[in-house]
Structure 1
Amino acid sequence: MNTENDDQPLSPAGRLFVQPATHQIINCVLGLKRAIDINEVRAVLNESLMIKHPRFSSLLITNKQGLEHWRKIDIDIDRHIILRPHPISHGDDDEEIVNDYIADLTVSSPLSIDKPLWEVHILEAHKCVVLRIHHALGDGISLVSLMLTMCRKRDDLEQTPTIEPLVSSKRDGGKLGILEQVLRLLKVIWFTVIYVTEFAMRGLWLSDGKTVVSGGDGVEMWPRKLVTAKFSVDDMKMVKSVVANATINDVLFGVISSGLSKYLDHRSPDHLQDGLKITGVALVNLRPSPGLQDFKELMKKNAGAGWGNKVGIMLLPVYYHRNVSDPLEYLKRAKMMIDSKKLSAEAYLSHQIGQFVMKYFGAKVASTLNYKVICNTSFTISNVVGPREEITVAGIPVTYIRTTSSSLPHGITMHMVSYAGKADMQILVAKDLIPDPEKLARCFEDALREMKEYALRI
């Protein structure tokens, strides 16, 4: 066991995620073809890279100065495995039962700090496992990659899954001339000034207009409901192909904009102004994301190198519109918005602002400002690229991969993960604000279907 002199400080973002106002746990669910037993889980964990990583065998310690550190300990895997051998509740719909179980975890079940901050829940009767990892241990993409090192390809049980590295989209069409470079630089400066100014204002007083889906201070403690919207990756690719240089993220935001408009028409059609701005918050990974094979080599060389959370915040607005005859207009508007956001340094500078506030004013002030940004916006969104091929864990085929996080002051939190041609989006809602989240999920699914049908007619 390490002594106090061997303790490692948390990263600034890690300190942010352990503050009460911005406390975050990632809950990742693997659906399985058959139930997995505790001995199979124990064997997978014992052989995994995950428990070899120092963060997964370290306690969270607060020193006399109030600063958080990691302290290495000898890990007892059995303390991290929680077995639920019997049905969680009565009913025939496993998906709904599992979603309800996770929804409860997002509000009322913190991780115990007397052991490293992760757990594996085995829901035997519902043929799934839930991996709970504190966000202070790392950013979402790295944690999902680390989890997938415990899996194998279904058609080759000796090989780990394939995940392509995330790379920036090239939308410039080749090298730019001098004039184009100057104009691009001016756009970068202009968009950066606008978006960083708005980000600062969101942390102080600027807020979205109130709608039936708006959250706010204290909403993170309200009871939650979790539902799943299901998309086809091929459908999303088909839709993006009809709009020049569009990406899957553009399609996702077009779907969210259209789906929210449909849902708001359902809930309050006579009380909204066309063009109403509804702002989302996205965490942006600022560290280059390796593919899974590169990730494994990095872990073997030095498990602690470059680890932690290096994330910025990007505010992504969508707009309420009624009676839109061309559903692809939602995609085109989303693409235009995301293109301008990518031209700016908003994500990088939001990270730098957070670092500055953390260093000179402390974690509590930084947490308060981040909490305020969330209270003044309307939803959270993330999209993680998963394996393209089918995978197994302990030799058992994985039927789905889904993830969500701890509840936030937002009324809606959305996390999409793609896997083997499917893209499942977990929609976590405050059910006192959104009593019919199944309707919201259908609105998103209908939005993509309408875009696809319209694209096929072009």
Structure 2
Amino acid sequence: MDLVRGVRYRKKAALKDLLIPKKKGSPKGEREGMDNGDLTEEDEQPLSPAARLFHQPHFNCYIIAIMGCCKKFDVNVVKGGLEVTLIRHPRFSSIQVLDDRTYGKWVRTKVVLENHVIVPDLDPNMESPDKFVEDYASDLTKTSLDFSKPLWDFHILNVKTKEAESTAIFRIHHSLGDGTSLISLLLACTRRSSDPNLLPTIPGGKMELRKRSGFLPFLARVWAVFRLVWNTMVDVLLFIATFLFLKDTETPLKGVEGVEFHPKRFVHWTLSLDDFKMVKSGMNSTINDVMLGVTSAGLTRYLNRRYDNNKAGNNGKHNLPENIRLRATLLVNIRSAPGIHALADMMEKDNADAKWGNWVGYVLLPFSLVKQDDPLDYVRKAKAITDRKKHSYESLLTFASGSGVVNFLGIKAVAHLSHRVFSNTTMSFSNVVGPMEEISFYGHPMAYVAPSVYGHPHALTIHFQSYMDKVKMVLAVDESAIPDPYQLCEDLADSLRLIKNAVLARK
């Protein structure tokens, strides 16, 4: 499939013609350009295999970030901020072109902000602003970006909702980078509301490893290596089996063939970060373990209701089939994500020193969908799964295998492999750590950030995004499979409450 749809550039001259600025009076919608002669070999970078993968028909993926603001957006201020930050990033100021000699190139171009910042004229007295914003985001999944321009747009909806005075929707094609890098870049465009000169504080740190001598520590290291090799072998074999024949159980959560082409609806729900921290401390686990445990418990509650065939309440009845196989597919960035300080410095100095790209591997994450008498068992099982996944090179091996398939069989073979793996699993899952304090986007204090993704063959994607003392739970759903996404949100929220109460009852 051509990377620029319907257009193939066969000669270098044609590529240079693309970059000549529009003539005065040229029709609206022509391609963005730059001054003739500005094109240099340094401006051209080849598309990575992952970038090309995200242009394949069944994997045409987009990242979307819904941002609530505590005041109305000043459009001119936002444009001024984008000019001195985001459009200095090479990927956000480049088009993707294809010629006969390469697999595709990034080519720097002049960005015309009016083509990317969309501000619809809205009725401030509309009947249901929240429903309008939700429908607006869903409608974006029915359209594609113009491949003759840098592949992103920014929609400003100056209408008051329950959680914000206004909303912005940032849509970015996945070929520009992986989700973690793109969210980091978005945060690099923000500053602390308390001090506009400071970048946000993102929690995290490296674990200090202490080497000890002696026979027992030596045996422990040998066991750790054996465990790493064994887990990796098992995970790779399961990955191969998933590609070949191993399918998840057909549940109401599983999308039908062609689900990647269906419109998606994005709903989000606010949870307390302190609740996650309390369970984490009480269970001697991580917040990620708790999120996975809550997800497992919430999916169990939701499916138990769906299998009850809409009877009058389930009354705690166990309606789930036995031995449900339900797995989530995670795309893992296999090299360190660029920090927001490095990205801010890169945009300020207009250089590409910070690491960037779509270097992603796969991790298949199983969920235990069994009604548990003790809600804490969901977290215990989640912790056991994540502890095992931490001692596996599954993501590295799947990335390497994808690169090998590209080299020998081409990008279409990788697209087929990826589509098979996603189609044989049920959902996508991710979580991202956000700022600890309130941030402002070009002087606009943010109420929340709700990122997600669409264009992949899953009917359900669950994403957790922390911000200050809250966690946004964001669901992207195909409504033909999940017609009641807010019920699923409520089941997930109730599961966190039950798990928290069970921890408190033990004290």
When normalised by structure 1's length, the TM-score is: 0.93
**Of residues 404, 412, 415 in structure 1, which corresponds to 2:460?**
412
Q: How does 1:91-110 map to 2 (within 5 A)?
A: 91-94=127-130, 96-106=131-141, 108-110=142-144
**Of residues 10, 33, 40 in structure 1, which corresponds to 2:47?**
10
Asked if 1:422 is matched to 2:470, the reply is: yes
**Which residue number in structure 2 is paired with residue 57 of structure 1?**
93
**Of residues 40, 61, 70 in structure 2, which corresponds to 1:33?**
70
**Which residue number in structure 2 is paired with residue 141 of structure 1?**
180
Distance 1:187 1:220, change over 3 A: same
Aligned-partner Cα distance in 2 for 1:173–1:254: 30
Distance 1:158 1:380, change over 3 A: same
**Of residues 189, 203, 213 in structure 1, which corresponds to 2:243?**
203
**Of residues 327, 332, 343 in structure 1, which corresponds to 2:375?**
327
Deviation at 1:66, TM superposition (A): 6.5
Distance 1:316 1:87, change over 3 A: farther
Letter in 2 for 1:317: P
Alignment gaps of 5+ in structure 2: 1-37, 161-165, 309-317
Aligned-partner Cα distance in 1 for 2:415–2:363: 16
Alignment gaps of 5+ in structure 1: none
**Which residue number in structure 2 is paired with residue 318 of structure 1?**
367
Letter in 1 for 2:153: E
Q: Is the 8 A contact 1:328 1:451 kept in 2?
A: yes
Distance 1:297 1:4, change over 3 A: closer
Aligned-partner Cα distance in 1 for 2:324–2:125: 41
1:66-112 CA distance string (max 9 Å, x none) = 71211111221221111123059943352x43222222223x12111
Secondary structure at the aligned position of 1:427 is classed as strand
**Which residue number in structure 1 is paired with residue 14 of structure 2?**
none
Q: Is the 8 A contact 2:58 2:457 kept in 1?
A: no
1:330-369 CA distance string (max 9 Å, x none) = 0010010011111010011111111111121111111111
**Of residues 9, 19, 35 in structure 1, which corresponds to 2:56?**
19
Aligned-partner Cα distance in 1 for 2:369–2:210: 32
Q: How does 1:144-163 map to 2 (within 5 A)?
A: 144-163=183-202
Which shifted more, 64-73 or 8-17?
64-73
Letter in 1 for 2:253: V
Secondary structure at the aligned position of 1:344 is classed as coil
Q: Is the 8 A contact 1:204 1:369 kept in 2?
A: no
Aligned-partner Cα distance in 2 for 1:87–1:423: 31
Letter in 1 for 2:89: H
1:260-292 CA distance string (max 9 Å, x none) = 000011100476334422100111121123542
Secondary structure at the aligned position of 2:137 is classed as helix
Q: Which has the larger radius of gyration?
A: 2
Distance 1:153 1:16, change over 3 A: same
Secondary structure at the aligned position of 2:500 is classed as helix
Aligned-partner Cα distance in 2 for 1:346–1:162: 31
**Which residue number in structure 2 is paired with residue 124 of structure 1?**
158
Aligned-partner Cα distance in 1 for 2:381–2:494: 18
**Which residue number in structure 2 is paired with residue 455 of structure 1?**
503
Aligned-partner Cα distance in 2 for 1:3–1:441: 50
**Of residues 444, 457, 466 in structure 2, which corresponds to 1:396?**
444
Deviation at 1:302, TM superposition (A): 3.7
**Which residue number in structure 2 is paired with residue 67 of structure 1?**
103
Q: Is the 8 A contact 2:454 2:476 kept in 1?
A: no
Computed over aligned residues only, the root mean square deviation of the Cα atoms, in angstroms, reads 2.2
1:300-345 CA distance string (max 9 Å, x none) = 48425532111111100101112x2211100010010011111010
**Which residue number in structure 2 is paired with residue 84 of structure 1?**
120
Distance 1:64 1:83, change over 3 A: same
When normalised by structure 2's length, the TM-score is: 0.84
Aligned-partner Cα distance in 2 for 1:250–1:317: 13
Q: Is the 8 A contact 1:231 1:424 kept in 2?
A: yes
**Which residue number in structure 2 is paired with residue 436 of structure 1?**
484
Q: Is the 8 A contact 1:165 1:289 kept in 2?
A: no
Aligned-partner Cα distance in 1 for 2:205–2:480: 37
Q: Is the 8 A contact 2:88 2:350 kept in 1?
A: no
1:397-456 CA distance string (max 9 Å, x none) = 110001111243212111221111111121111111111111100010011111111111
Deviation at 1:151, TM superposition (A): 1.4
Asked if 1:348 is matched to 2:391, the reply is: no
**Which residue number in structure 1 is paired with residue 420 of structure 2?**
372
Q: Is the 8 A contact 2:184 2:338 kept in 1?
A: no
Secondary structure at the aligned position of 2:253 is classed as coil
Letter in 2 for 1:423: V
Secondary structure at the aligned position of 1:84 is classed as coil
Which shifted more, 219-228 or 189-198?
219-228
**Which residue number in structure 1 is paired with residue 231 of structure 2?**
191
**Which residue number in structure 2 is paired with residue 113 of structure 1?**
147
**Of residues 259, 271, 294 in structure 1, which corresponds to 2:298?**
259
Distance 1:54 1:225, change over 3 A: closer
**Which residue number in structure 2 is paired with residue 43 of structure 1?**
80
